[in-house]
Structure 1
């Protein structure tokens, strides 16, 4: 019994932390189970990136890992390396991999249906509570090691973990909030190294941080170096000598980096391969401030608690080393919020992003914890004076915002509890516990108020709930039934062109090989293919998305997108697709001019010899476009009929260069009377033109014969800067090009008429018997004997793709047709296997394993027992 009592006493703080971790989610859990139908089953997932990226990617990766596919699949958008490209999200994410261990156990023991978005939406609550426990625990450990008593250390951890910033990060981009774990853990590990000479925890913290997310590892590197340098320059008496601290920290960081190599290297490689356009907008040094930029009130991202203001105006406590340190860090980082330059710096000198604010949340939480722990040492006069700036700031905030938030009424109550401690100069247990409870309630109220106003607003709650994700706005039973039916109709290797509304990751959560993707990291070759080489113009401009092929039959056939599904009211079906099934709501179309999955040709075209998208399409249909072999063919350019058409303006003025569109919209009409005598059958028009909006700065729409193309405003962070555009339209006597009102630079560059005779010839000449078999991590193509020469398959080529024949061994895979994989087949090959391993994967894995072994040897030099003791010691 005594042992049990001792065990309970030792674990009481862990139990408190566990209760607080659940309690911090009271508001979001209430929104999940609230009796009001309008608030029922609201998931802790944003309706935009949450439902469109986070949940589909979690589901997709789990299914891939479960089936044994580790790196590459043709159903990852157009196909590609999801291990590398999704490292920014979850593929190497430590928290995610811990999560899916629990998920797989639950699936095995309890039969969870893990193949639905609904499951992963509910799972978000579970993993967030576990993360919050870890955040409070590691903040508690850090605060204890710098001398804060346990009760206040837990309070500091709770203020950090239950902050509005945590919930904003978690709801919109769940992997963002992982960094809330790594920051206190990193500083705790640094303190263990600098005080006690124990580098073990620091080694593994560096490794885990780098493995978990390379992007936030950059943030962690900055703040870790800053903190370490400050601690070295302003050394405390009981710290290690500077030279010894450096001798421990540098090899520890190197070993930690070595352990992370198998994940970090490939994540960075994916980021560098991403086509990140240069942000051309001038960044001001000081931002133009508005009501929502007030970090003390209802800022959209962060709320600095009034206790931090009082702490900053309590100079008597500045004589304490860590109090002064975190007061200065809090002040400096509060000033940083005023400058977009800082946002740019923390975002790798790209467009400004406010993702570093979690540091300020942590600094002010640590400051508050120390302030509360030292209240009894604060003179009454100082305490009262420190209340004045609080009421000035909050009063001005109410006046500017013209509204009062609910948590304002708790400010004087919390202050009164603090006043009792200050007045009595003692820490009586009932008063301490009352203050602690009030601080917890106040923190939760601030967070709930912020979440209600800034996160769970109607634009989000209208969609992130159970009904929405099971509706035809996201995934209905009818939509899934039709997709499953197409999957039964199609052959392996064929793609389905379909997405629900604008959900570009529909294929991920509906389980089919599609043609769309929404991700911050997209292989640069794909972006070049769409924006530069073929100028495929998406309905909505974005650097983070691609979808479909602009109804261009040539591209559908080349990429084996032979099936599509559309709602009946939707138009813009490629001319060579025919309806095969309909249910009254959705129609399934099949390509009437398909091409073989594996295509042989002796015609080799040099990409440098091809000048326009139509010429490139025809070259791919006639042969192989590549610079891996010497070109032996020339592809004539299609006729440019621009000089044969008439151009007039309507509700606009056009001088051949500048187009000024009047109110209600206007634009240009292209007259084809001189080109055709009557409307043609399947002939289509491809129009190349340059478009830039000069004035005003706004989003605008270009409508070409009913095809609406939404373009981003000039200063948008997600603008493609692809202003040389191509539009497809059915050939008619007149084709209108309509613009929103404004002043544009418009240059008509070329007009081509496509009759698809090249596609028809290619399709009719191909009917080689072959079979495509999809294996985990590879694709097998079985062909008849006697075929040899250069071949292409519509499998995305990446460095690391290999092609092997059953007779000739390595077939020398190379990039062909901009995105595809090409290889040279031997006459004896009847089976060809395409596989992929990220470049240098086995080397990086070896470095990681060697570094891991080296870490234990290195730690043992300083005492493994001390390391373990320092990690698990309870107070």
Structure 2
């Protein structure tokens, strides 16, 4: 009977938690469901990273996994290991895997159209509600084990799950808010060890956290160590002895980490292989505070509910162990918000990032839950005294903000009900119920007010809706029709150069093999290729994106980018591309100087001897560039024609490599009068060093109509690549203009490219072959075997394997900076190119063995330990 009653209670709480998970999304659901106009039906995803990164990546990975591709594809940007590089996002994300399991079931049973961004935008609501349920449940269980009443344990979880911080994380970077699940789970698991000698949940929590996201695993490590340190330092009566706690916690953490190896190891590899540019900006000790830094009132990231202030000033309750502990943690983390050095610590000492604030939100939610649990112990005098700092802070906040937010009007109502709960003891159950409902309503209003002003502002709501994602700003019917036309037109190995405006992940959500990507983690070799080796000057300076090849024909041909689509306003069509289709809005171009996918080379060039990007392009065209083979050729010296070019300042002052531009549009003018007749139908490559001296702002370098947008000096996303190379069609006058400001400008070289070498190589007879894409490999079948050094524009990664049907392993190597090279034997006719992340099988074995060890460990400290205690 007791068991049945206990189960009914558990079911009741589960139902309440599920309802609260939905209620926590009341505002975002209302903003989506209530309008009839698609322009006002706002999706629960940001218009920037949300629809530019999160949704395309979810769609892309689902399609890859559905196809049976697990690691690598040539359509991942230029090509790459999406399992490793997207581990920061979703490729090892447990929440995402649970999501796509149900999506796949719906796909098979109902026929979901998962190939559109629309579907994944709708899906965001469901997965967020599911996450909110887990957050509330795990917080409730943690609060339960530290002695909080069930009702307030659920409310504490609700405050955490419905917080503005949760919605900011979820709307802009949905995988960020997964950490709201793992924090209460981890601390609940630690308490099970400390209080009950049960390590099983901690093993699971450690493994799940590290598998789900290595980046936030670092955050979790810090908070778990801090929590365990405090619990061991200030041990309670009845807790396990300190040494025994450590003996259980440390092995459990190691086993959990071992279980995560198949995901965690490769995620860390991806992070370490990312471009590692240092943040060259001094970080101040303290923030320069303004009204937006007020964590109690309309802060852009976190709002500390005023109830936590009351709790902090209720001295009577500090006799409670966990109350005192979380009060101190709340105060400490409040103080942490004042220093960017804390942001730096939590971001691995790279750049200051405010991503740790969810911990403060959690601590204050736990404190509030305990405050109401022990509410009956507070005297009326103590209660009234605790209100004084609340109204002082609110009054000052309203004064400095010069605005009253809507939730302020509910504060005295809650205080009145709280007063009646203490004063009218006989009616306490009813009043406590009213108070609990008020806290839920208040939390929703605070979250809705913040979401409305700080998240769903006009810059977001103008774009995160159905009308936008089906427009020509993102994916119109005409754009999709043209892409399908191109996909039917091209060979499997050929790429299409196209992105919709600034949507660098267009290929991901339109399903074609392109040249662009937007991701925080990009293989450092690709970044080196763009910024250092070939100096491909992207229109927007950033370390998180790459796209196209700056209209450089040699690179387009080398990487088999043989088709492109442009609208009428696009600058810079490569020299060797000609229009083949024009629908009045978009023009499709075809490469006139195509190169074969499989290219043989006689000459081997040492990359260390090539001193200019154009020389590197020529070496790749003429032979192969690699340090894996002995060099057999030396590059011919190129002619720098800078001395034949006249450079004059226009509406600017240029002296001693310093350019002063008083107004936007001033700059330099390059005169090529003496060269135009000599080099007909050619491009000019202008290389120069540019750094803004003052002021500290974004600026534009406009090169003959090509606007190169550069970041301000202190930006976290600066490339620090100030040696710039611009490709421009050769003509008599080429203007380079700047935004107003003072610059260090050094013109380093000027080279002319007539494309004679490209045309010669394009005219060479191609080896006859067919390319077949297998699930996790590429197979090239030659019409006739041919020995020699060869390369393919499949982006090389450590773990790439090439084999021939006659020679076996062909020892793949990095060629032409990014490509895959190999040496074919005389009898090799079928070439198979496959990829597995380095050490993947080893890490998988470690995970499996750790899982088995975990079962043995739990048996050792479960059944056997209970028997030994009975004895």
2:869 alignment partner in structure 1: none
Q: Which whole-Å CA distance do the structure 2 matches of 1:794 and 1:866 have between them?
A: 59
1:580 aligned onto 2:580:
yes
1:669-724 Cα shifts (integer Å, max 9, x gaps): 1111222348x542010000000000000000001111110000000000000000
1:589 alignment partner in structure 2: 589
1:274 alignment partner in structure 2: 274
Contact 2:295 2:304 in 1 (8 A): yes
Q: Cα–Cα, structure 1 residues 864 and 746, in superposed 2: closer, same or farther, change >3 Å?
A: farther
| Residue 425 (structure 1) shift | 4.8
CA RMSD, 1 decimal: 1.4
Contact 2:768 2:784 in 1 (8 A): no
2:54 alignment partner in structure 1: 54
Q: Which whole-Å CA distance do the structure 2 matches of 1:647 and 1:39 have between them?
A: 50
2:697 alignment partner in structure 1: 698
2:294 alignment partner in structure 1: 294
* Structure 1: runs of 5+ lacking an equivalent: 868-875
2:240 alignment partner in structure 1: 240
Q: Which whole-Å CA distance do the structure 1 matches of 2:172 and 2:795 have between them?
A: 30
Map 1:257-406 onto structure 2 (within 5 A): 257-406=257-406
Contact 1:84 1:267 in 2 (8 A): yes
- SS state of the match for residue 432, structure 1? helix
Q: Which whole-Å CA distance do the structure 1 matches of 2:139 and 2:185 have between them?
A: 7
| Residue 730 (structure 1) shift | 0.9
Map 1:808-823 onto structure 2 (within 5 A): 808-823=807-822
Q: Which whole-Å CA distance do the structure 1 matches of 2:380 and 2:38 have between them?
A: 48
Q: Cα–Cα, structure 1 residues 231 and 598, in superposed 2: closer, same or farther, change >3 Å?
A: same
1:870 alignment partner in structure 2: none
- SS state of the match for residue 272, structure 1? helix
| Residue 113 (structure 1) shift | 0.4
Contact 1:686 1:726 in 2 (8 A): yes
1:760 aligned onto 2:755:
no
Q: Report the number of matched residues.
A: 866
1:783 alignment partner in structure 2: 782
Contact 1:805 1:829 in 2 (8 A): yes
Q: Which whole-Å CA distance do the structure 1 matches of 2:721 and 2:185 have between them?
A: 43
Map 1:207-246 onto structure 2 (within 5 A): 207-246=207-246
1:761-815 Cα shifts (integer Å, max 9, x gaps): 1111142211111111111111132411100000000000000011111011000
- SS state of the match for residue 539, structure 1? coil
- SS state of the match for residue 674, structure 1? helix
2:479 alignment partner in structure 1: 479
Map 1:742-761 onto structure 2 (within 5 A): 742-761=741-760
| Residue 569 (structure 1) shift | 3.0
| Residue 862 (structure 1) shift | 2.4
- SS state of the match for residue 392, structure 2? helix
| Residue 38 (structure 1) shift | 7.5
1:718 alignment partner in structure 2: 717
1:435-494 Cα shifts (integer Å, max 9, x gaps): 000000000000000000000001001100011111111001111111011011100111
2:686 alignment partner in structure 1: 687
Contact 1:624 1:817 in 2 (8 A): yes
Q: Structure 1 stretch 640-649 or stretch 424-433: which is displaced more?
A: 424-433
Map 1:245-644 onto structure 2 (within 5 A): 245-425=245-425, 428-644=428-644
Q: Which whole-Å CA distance do the structure 2 matches of 1:865 and 1:395 have between them?
A: 60
Q: Cα–Cα, structure 1 residues 358 and 2, in superposed 2: closer, same or farther, change >3 Å?
A: closer
Contact 1:376 1:426 in 2 (8 A): no
1:871 alignment partner in structure 2: none
TM-score relative to the length of structure 1: 0.98
Q: Structure 1 stretch 231-240 or stretch 785-794: which is displaced more?
A: 785-794
Q: Which whole-Å CA distance do the structure 1 matches of 2:460 and 2:589 have between them?
A: 34
Contact 1:811 1:824 in 2 (8 A): yes
Q: Which whole-Å CA distance do the structure 2 matches of 1:223 and 1:426 have between them?
A: 42
| Residue 498 (structure 1) shift | 0.2
Q: Which whole-Å CA distance do the structure 2 matches of 1:422 and 1:37 have between them?
A: 49
Q: Which whole-Å CA distance do the structure 2 matches of 1:617 and 1:475 have between them?
A: 34
1:835 alignment partner in structure 2: 834
Q: Which whole-Å CA distance do the structure 2 matches of 1:214 and 1:704 have between them?
A: 42
Contact 2:571 2:706 in 1 (8 A): no
1:622-653 Cα shifts (integer Å, max 9, x gaps): 00000001101011132100011111000100
- SS state of the match for residue 795, structure 1? coil
Q: Cα–Cα, structure 1 residues 668 and 734, in superposed 2: closer, same or farther, change >3 Å?
A: same
1:588-634 Cα shifts (integer Å, max 9, x gaps): 11100000000001100000000000000000000000000110101
| Residue 424 (structure 1) shift | 3.3
| Residue 6 (structure 1) shift | 6.5
Q: Which whole-Å CA distance do the structure 2 matches of 1:826 and 1:72 have between them?
A: 26
Contact 2:38 2:466 in 1 (8 A): no
1:87 alignment partner in structure 2: 87
TM-score relative to the length of structure 2: 0.98
Q: Which whole-Å CA distance do the structure 1 matches of 2:864 and 2:490 have between them?
A: 60
Contact 2:296 2:304 in 1 (8 A): yes
1:134 aligned onto 2:134:
yes
1:176 alignment partner in structure 2: 176
- SS state of the match for residue 746, structure 1? strand
2:156 alignment partner in structure 1: 156
Contact 1:626 1:817 in 2 (8 A): yes
Contact 2:38 2:467 in 1 (8 A): no
Contact 1:255 1:854 in 2 (8 A): yes
- SS state of the match for residue 833, structure 2? strand
| Residue 3 (structure 1) shift | 9.0
Contact 2:805 2:828 in 1 (8 A): yes
| Residue 58 (structure 1) shift | 0.3
Q: Which whole-Å CA distance do the structure 1 matches of 2:445 and 2:693 have between them?
A: 46
